[in-house]
Amino acid sequence: MFEEAKWITAGNRMGEISPEFKKKISFEKMPVKAIAHVTAMGVYELRINGSKVGDALMTPGWTSYSNRVQYQSYDITQQLTETTQIGILCGKGWALGNLGFSHLSKVYCDEIAARMQLELTYEDGSIETVVTDPTWEVWTSQILDSELYHGETVDLTTEPLCVGFAAEKTGITASPVLHVGEFVREQERVTAKKLIITPKGEKVIDFGQNLAGYVEIHVKGKRGDKIVLTHAEVLDSEGNFYTENYRTARNRNVYVLSGGEDVFKPRFCFQGYRYIRLDEYPFEEIDLSAFTSVAIYSDMKRIGYFHCGDERINQLYSNTLWGQRSNFIDVPTDCPQRDERLGWTGDAQVFCRTASINYHTERFFQKWLGDMMLEQTEEGAVYGIVPVVGELTARISAAWGDAATVCPWEIYQAYGNKELLRSHYDMMKKWVEYMHRYGDEEYLWMGEPYHYGDWLSMDTTENDVAGKRGGTQLDFVATAFFAYSTELVIKAGRVLGEDVSYFEDMYKKIKKAFRAVFMKDGMSVIYPKCDGIYHKRPIHDVTQTTLTLILRFGLYEEEERQAIVERLVQMIRDNGNRMTTGFVGTPYLLHVLSENGYADVAYDLLLQEKAPSWLFSVIHGATTMWEHWDSLREDGSFWLTEMNSFNHYAYGAVCDWLFGGAAGIHVLDDGAAYTHVSIVPHPDRRLGHLDFSIDTGHGILASAWCYNGNELRYNLTIPEGTVAEVQLPGGKVSSLSAGKYLFVESC
Ligand code: BGC
- pLDDT for the residue 459: 87
CATH of the domain at 682: 2.60.420.10
598 falls within a domain: yes
- How many A from CA of 651 to the centre of ligand 1? 13
Question: Does residue 81 form part of some domain?
Answer: yes
pLDDT surpasses 70 at 469: no
Say if 90 falls within a structural domain.
yes
**In terms of domains, do 505 and 570 share one?**
yes
Nearest CA, atom 9, ligand 1: 334
Q: Average pLDDT for residues 311-335, to the nearest whole number? A: 98
Partners of residue 74 on adjacent β-strands: 36
Query: Is residue 347 within 8 Å of residue 647, measured between CB atoms?
Result: no
pLDDT category of residue 678 using cuts at 50, 70 and 90: very high
The predicted pLDDT at position 278 comes to 98
Per DSSP, the chain holds a count of helices (H) and strands (E) of 14, 38
User: Are 414 and 673 in contact, with CB atoms under 8 Å apart?
Assistant: yes
Q: Mean pLDDT throughout 689-707?
A: 98
Distance CA 442, CA 691 (A): 47
User: Lowest-confidence range among 107-111, 121-125, 662-666?
Assistant: 107-111
* Contacts made by residues 373-380, CB under 8 angstroms, sequence distance 24+: 373/423, 373/424, 373/426, 373/427, 374/64, 374/67, 374/68, 375/64, 375/67, 376/404, 376/427, 376/430, 376/431, 377/434, 379/433, 379/434, 379/437, 380/430, 380/431, 380/432, 380/433, 380/434, 380/437
Q: How confident is the model at residue 217 (pLDDT cuts 50, 70, 90)?
A: very high
In the 8-state DSSP scheme, what is residue 352?
Answer: H
Does the beta carbon of 454 lie inside 6 Å of ligand 1? no
Q: Is the shortest distance between the CB of 334 and ligand 1 below 6 Å?
A: yes
Same domain, 476 and 376: yes
Residue 539: pLDDT band (50, 70, 90) is confident
Whole-number pLDDT of residue 462: 60
527 with 439: CB under 8 angstroms? no
Residue 283 sits in which domain range?
185-298
Of 662, 681, 700, the one marking the end of a domain is: 662
Instruction: Give yes or no: residues 658 and 669 share one domain.
Output: no
CATH no. for residue 17? 2.60.120.260
Report if residue 148 sits inside a domain. no
How far is it, in rounded angstroms, from Cα 272 to Cα 294?
11
Beta strands in 564-708 (DSSP E): 665-667, 676-679, 689-695, 700-708
Confidence of residue 223 (pLDDT cuts 50, 70, 90): very high
Give yes or no: residues 424 and 535 share one domain: yes
Query: What's residue 624's pLDDT?
Result: 98
pLDDT at residue 425 is higher than 90: yes
Backbone dihedral angles phi then psi of residue 376, each to the nearest 5 degrees: -60, 135
User: Does one domain contain both 14 and 62?
Assistant: yes
Question: Is 347 close to ligand 1, i.e. is its CB under 6 Å away?
Answer: yes
540 shares a domain with 467: yes
pLDDT score of 476 more than 80: yes
| Whether residue 484 sits in one domain with residue 561 | yes
pTM of the model: 0.97
> Ligand 1 pocket, 626 CB below 6 A?
no
Write down which residue in 628, 662, 696 finishes a domain. Answer: 662
What is the tens place of the pLDDT at every residue in 575-631?
A: 999 999 999 999 999 999 999 999 999 999 999 999 999 999 999 999 999 998 888
Task: Say what the pLDDT of residue 431 is.
Answer: 98
Please name the residues in contact with 129: beta carbons below 8 A apart, sequence gap of 6 or more.
4, 117, 118, 119, 120
- Whole-number average pLDDT of the chain: 95
Q: How many domains does the chain have?
A: 4
| Protein residue whose Cα sits closest to atom 4 of ligand 1 | 344
CATH code where residue 458 lies: 1.50.10.10
496 within some domain: yes
**Are residue 529 and residue 638 in the same domain, yes or no?**
yes
CA 710 – ligand 1 centroid, Å? 47
Q: Please determine, for residue 289, whether its predicted confidence score (pLDDT) is greater than 80.
A: yes
Summarize pLDDT for 543-573 with one digit per residue, the tens.
999 999 999 999 999 999 999 999 999 999 9
Q: Does 281 score more than 80 pLDDT?
A: yes
Ligand 1: does its nearest atom lie under 6 Å from the Cβ of 339? no
Say if residue 222's pLDDT is above 80: yes
Report helix angle 544-552 to 561-574, nearest 10.
150
Query: How far does the centroid of ligand 1 lie from the alpha carbon of residue 434, in Å?
Result: 22
pLDDT band at 470 (very low <50, low <70, confident <90, very high): low
CB 623 within 8 A of CB 323: no
354/286 same-domain check:
no
Is residue 204 domain-shared with residue 340, that is, in the same domain?
no
What pLDDT does residue 535 have? 61
* Percent of the chain's residues with pLDDT above 90: 89
CA of 266 to the centre of ligand 1 (A): 27
To test the ligand 1 pocket, which listed residue (338, 344, 649) has its Cβ within 8 A of the most ligand atoms? Answer: 344
The verdict on residue 624 lying in a domain is: yes
Ligand 1, atom 3: nearest CA belongs to which residue? 344
Among the three residues 240, 272, 298, which one is the final residue of a domain in this structure? 298
Please report the atom of ligand 1 found closest to the CA of residue 643. 7
In a domain, 2, yes or no: no
**Atom nearest to 645 CA in ligand 1:** 8
Q: Are residues 692 and 738 in the same domain?
A: yes
Measuring from atom 12 of ligand 1, which residue has the nearest CA?
452
Check if 346 has its Cβ closer than 6 Å to any atom of ligand 1: yes
Q: How many CB atoms lie under 10 A from the CB of residue 121? A: 15
Locate the ligand 1 atom nearest the alpha carbon of residue 648 and give its number.
Answer: 9
Catalytic center residues = 340, 627
Judge whether residue 467 has pLDDT over 70: no
| 41-59 mean pLDDT | 98
pLDDT in tens, 142-194: 999 999 999 999 999 999 999 999 999 999 989 999 999 999 999 999 999 99
Q: Do 172 and 189 belong together in one domain? A: no
Q: Is residue 17 part of a domain?
A: yes
Ligand 1 pocket member 340 (CB < 6 A): yes
Q: What is the mean pLDDT of residues 53-75?
A: 97
